[in-house]
Amino acid sequence: MAIVISAIAIFMSLFHLYTAAFGTLLSIRQRSLHLILAFTLGFLLYPAFKKSSKVKIAITDYLLAALSIVVFGYLFVNFEAIALRGGTVETMDAVFGMLAILITLEVTRRVVGPELPIVAIIFLIYAKFGPYMPGILAHRGFSWERIVSHMYLTTEGILGIPIGVSATFVFMFILFGAFLDKTGVGKFFIDLAYSLTGHLKSGPAMTAVVASGFMGSISGSSVANTVTTGAFTIPLMKKIGYKPHFAGAVEAAASTGGQIMPPVMGAAAFIMAEFTGIPYIRIIAAAAIPAFLYYFAVAAIVHLEASRLGLKGIPREQLPKLGGILKKQGYLFIPLFSIVFFLIQGRTPLLAAFYSIVISVVIATIASIVSWKVYGKFTFTTKDLISALQHGAKGSVSVACACACAGMIVGVVTLTGLGLRIAELIVTLAQGKLILTLLFTMVASIILGMGLPTTAKYIVLATMAVPALIKLDVNLMSAHLFILYFGVIADITPPVALAAYAGAGIAGANAMKTGFQAVKLALAAFLVPYIFAYNSNLILVKEVIDTTVVFVPFLTAVPVILSSILGILCLASGVSQYMITKNKVYETILLLVAAISLLNPGIYSDVFGLVVFGTIYFLQRKRSKEVIEMTA
């Protein structure tokens, strides 16, 4: 069965590579075959319960995998006949439709967890019992036959936009990440970050920030990034004096930011492009400055914490040489540069990912041949190629399941008009005030993000919360990035903080303590989205007309960028309770007030923030000199 599962995974990757190169199938066929392969792997790889045997596959798992093939194979084979019926639902359609819903809920429960299926069930019940709902949430209600056919036979439910994106862009970028991993990019990023930052006071902690930013930009998974780079950086942080919970939190916060770091940004960015109609290259252009500010904030807090603890970096002579790393492995940057190049050239994300995968294989093969001639060993073999194909497919299963299940939620929203009702409700509760609307949306994003994967959470809120923000004149790009940011931050927000818990596991620290520390480190992510919601110059966007993004000149954005950096410095010093020396209580309060006032950049808030930061800096510098003189 291991051979069979590997064969399915390899076929899945080869199928997506083929369709990326030569054109995708018709939507229903592309999506249904994608689900057949993903669900089959899901049932064979994930047991029904945690206590179930992970070695022996249960007979029910085989049956469910076979049922997935039959149910979605029915759509693959009969899609033309279904389309010609003009909406008429036959008995076989209804039976297979109900089975499709149940299969989707079960495989998602196994692979992703129970939270998303529970939310989907609640939405399905809402679609049925609309007349009994209170106030603004009430609607006329739909029969079970109508609901099932909408979820199964149309591209508005299980086979909707989310799974469409999963079956094209997302899969290819997950596969791209798998190939980069097998060609040694992960170790290269860690070595590169180590050589650049290891000598600083914050040493390995800063290495974690830089390496996780590199890795996260292509992996798209907070947890996967945490365990990959954390296995190296967390023990190093503990070794030089950081407490275990702080070491785990640094890695979790840095890894989580990868989902908002171009050029890949995780699966949600591709779904955003599909929902908004805005080209992907413009989305990553808008996300670049906020992503930089996020990592700048995490780095600032990490550095101030190192200064407060009196830590020292690693001597330069003990670090790998930057020149040597770039000379030996610098070619590994080429696939990353190529993907940006192809996107700028106007290629679709699908083709850009395909070309970059081919380039990564070619470069790895050439490097392997050179290594064999120089050192007598290959660095990239056929085994690595096959392993990349397997890992890419297996890594896509969780995203495919989440997108299929979230598709049902979106289906209910489109069927009932719930999105507009929720938007109206949010605006009414906020009494038309933007700050309250943003606050309610933030809370909803974090709560949903705690139980749902980022992609699923984004899909739900994009259909329900974004219209409320747009009603209050937040432009389309800012509104979508706002909910994406807070959905991402949910990965480190207790009580359900998966990335933080992964970091805590490696560090041997208390999970909840690690989670709260990670929130402190990532507080800038709570600040930056409010800034670009009020002033979209921060994301270089003047306005969005339909799907056309009108960008502002970079120089126009400089004032708000500088204001944001000032706010982050105030926030970092306030959270760390340290600037040059330990803060007095009133200094911490003033710094935090200044940081909050800079949420809406303007001349008065900027001057206030600058005066507060500058005054406290000079006061602490004076105190620090007095301590040195007294010690002498």
Q: What confidence tens digit (pLDDT) does each residue in 199-233 have?
A: 887 777 788 788 777 776 666 667 777 876 787 77
pLDDT, position 450: 63
Choice between 607 and 207, residue whose per-residue pLDDT is larger = 607
DSSP-derived pairing of the beta strands 541-545 and 548-551 = antiparallel
Mean predicted confidence (pLDDT) in 488-511: 80
pLDDT, position 123: 92
On whether the CB atoms of residues 263 and 271 are closer than 8 A, the answer is no
pLDDT, position 221: 66
Question: Does 29 reside within a domain?
Answer: yes
Is the pLDDT confidence value at 52 over 70? no
* Alpha-carbon torsion (346, 347, 353, 359), positive or negative: negative
Query: What would the pLDDT profile of 171-183 be if each residue is shown by its tens digit?
Result: 888 888 888 888 8
The single-letter code of the amino acid at 599 is L
Question: Does 59 reside within a domain?
Answer: yes
pLDDT, position 143: 92
* Rounded CA separation 488/499 (Å): 10
Mean predicted confidence (pLDDT) in 458-473: 84
* Whole-angstrom Cα Rg for the chain: 25
Q: Which domain holds residue 48?
A: 2-115
Coil, helix or strand at residue 1: coil
3-state SS, 557-582, equals HHHHHHHHHHHHHHHHHHHHCECCCE
Question: Does 89 reside within a domain?
Answer: yes
Is the pLDDT confidence value at 632 over 60? no
Q: How confident is the model at residue 333 (pLDDT cuts 50, 70, 90)?
A: confident
pLDDT, position 212: 76
Is the pLDDT confidence value at 74 over 80? yes
* Rounded CA separation 417/420 (Å): 6
263 preceded by a cis bond (ω within 30 of 0): yes
**Residue 111 to residues 43, 213, 373: CA-CA distances in angstroms?**
9, 26, 44
Question: Does 40 reside within a domain?
Answer: yes
pTM: 0.77
Choice between 393 and 270, residue whose per-residue pLDDT is larger = 393
Cα pseudo-dihedral 451, 454, 458, 460, rounded to 10: -30
Residues linked to residue 550 through DSSP beta bridges, in sequence order: 543
Choice between 170 and 114, residue whose per-residue pLDDT is larger = 114
Choice between 200 and 147, residue whose per-residue pLDDT is larger = 147
pLDDT, position 461: 81
Averaged pLDDT score across all residues of the chain: 85
Q: How confident is the model at residue 451 (pLDDT cuts 50, 70, 90)?
A: low
Mean predicted confidence (pLDDT) in 304-308: 83
The total number of structural domains in the chain stands at 1
Mean predicted confidence (pLDDT) in 444-468: 76
Question: Does 67 reside within a domain?
Answer: yes
* Rounded CA separation 183/200 (Å): 29
Taking alpha carbons only, the member of 237, 229, 255, 247 closest to residue 198 is: 237
Residues linked to residue 544 through DSSP beta bridges, in sequence order: 549
Mean predicted confidence (pLDDT) in 596-605: 82
* Rounded CA separation 349/563 (Å): 33
Query: What would the pLDDT profile of 311-321 be if each residue is shown by its tens digit?
Result: 777 788 878 88
The single-letter code of the amino acid at 558 is V
pLDDT, position 393: 93
Q: How confident is the model at residue 402 (pLDDT cuts 50, 70, 90)?
A: confident
Token pair of 371, please? 């290594």
Question: Does 384 reside within a domain?
Answer: no
Is the pLDDT confidence value at 349 over 70? yes
Q: How confident is the model at residue 408 (pLDDT cuts 50, 70, 90)?
A: very high
**Residue 404 to residues 99, 164, 419, 453, 454: CA-CA distances in angstroms?**
14, 9, 19, 12, 14
Total number of residues shown for the chain: 632
Map tokens 């911490």 to a residue.
588
Taking alpha carbons only, the member of 460, 478, 457 closest to residue 469 is: 478
Question: Does 166 reside within a domain?
Answer: no
Choice between 458 and 92, residue whose per-residue pLDDT is larger = 92
Long-range CB contacts (within 8 A, 24+) of 320-325: 320/191, 320/194, 320/195, 321/195, 322/192, 322/195, 322/196, 325/188, 325/191, 325/192, 325/195
Taking alpha carbons only, the member of 92, 474, 20, 538 closest to residue 294 is: 538
pLDDT, position 464: 78
* Rounded CA separation 226/84 (Å): 49
* Rounded CA separation 297/485 (Å): 15
Token pair of 455, please? 């992609």
On whether the CB atoms of residues 388 and 150 are closer than 8 A, the answer is no
pLDDT, position 105: 96
| Stretch (H or E) spanning 297 | helix 280-309
Question: Does 54 reside within a domain?
Answer: yes
Token pair of 56, please? 């022996």
